[in-house]
Amino acid sequence: MNESEFKELADDVFDRIEAALDASDADIEYDSNGTVLEMEFADGSKVVVNRHVPNREIWLAAKSGGFHYAMQDGRWLSQRDGSELFTKLAELVQIGSGMKLDF
């Protein structure tokens, strides 16, 4: 996958996340480049989603750790534990906000 293809896929990921979070109490902020999305919840916890262009990965960071996801067979999967990006993100959001969201 080239950089342009990755950026298009990453835009889709961020759009999907924003759409799901519109129904939550999370505060959402982007960095000035639009490459990092930070969610902050009422309890003060945060989840950060980052487009890592050089590796063509989407990274999640939370109090529980960091997770790296690469596109494989049409899904964003972790090389380390095999988890799927949106499943892990839903878990992290539920921990932070108590809300169960479908991405």
In the prediction, which pLDDT does 25 show? 65
Single-letter residue type at 103: F
24: phi then psi, degrees, rounded to nearest 5: -105, 180
What architecture does CATH give domain 3-97? 2-Layer Sandwich (3.30)
Give, for 46, the enclosing helix (H) or strand (E): strand 46-52
What span, in angstroms and rounded, lies between the C-alpha atoms of 48 and 24?
Answer: 16
Cα maximum dimension of the chain: 39
> pLDDT of 48-90, one tens digit each?
999 999 999 999 999 888 999 999 999 999 988 999 999 999 9
- In 3-state terms, what secondary structure has residue 103? coil
Half-sphere exposure of 89 (CA within 13 A, CB side): 26
